[in-house]
Amino acid sequence: EVQLVQSGAEVKKPGESLRISCKGSGYSFTTYWINWVRQMPGKGLEWMGRIDPVDSYTDYSPSFRGHVTISTDTSITTAYLQWGSLKASDTAMYYCTRQEKVGLTGTRWWFDPWGQGTLVTVSS
């Protein structure tokens, strides 16, 4: 069974750093991009960025570039989303999700499956 299992909920203070994780299993980890999606309380989905586990190439939404860092450790089939300095406005649920690569440069533009989500709460 293909699964993405995320790390548990976090409560942090503004200015603190944080790294959350997403472990893939049941498939070839390097054959798929890992994407991160934010859902603020009571709001819709926002695409943050993605990483190719083969070479760690990343794409970021302009809304998130410079504020978060996406990385992977292929030896443990795990992707990460990291903040250097959290803000209260980072309070949200964060999902990782898989996106299939096609050939050398192509991509499927849909996401399946999704991790169960990691709730990040930033409050003083």
Which residues sit at the interface with other proteins, rule CB under 8 A? 35, 37, 44-47, 50, 59, 61-63, 95, 97, 108-117
Strand order in the sheet with 78-83: 3-6, 18-25, 78-83, 68-73
Residue nearer to other proteins on the CB measure, 1 or 75: 1
Closest distance of CB 4 from other proteins, Å: 9
Residue in 48, 121, 63, 39 with CA at minimum distance from that of residue 88: 121
Q: To the nearest whole angstrom, how small is the minimum distance from the Cβ of residue 80 to other proteins?
A: 18
Tell me 8's DSSP state.
P
User: What span, in angstroms and rounded, lies between the C-alpha atoms of 78 and 85?
Assistant: 22
Nearer to other proteins, 17 or 63 (CB): 63
CB of 15 to other proteins, least distance (A): 27
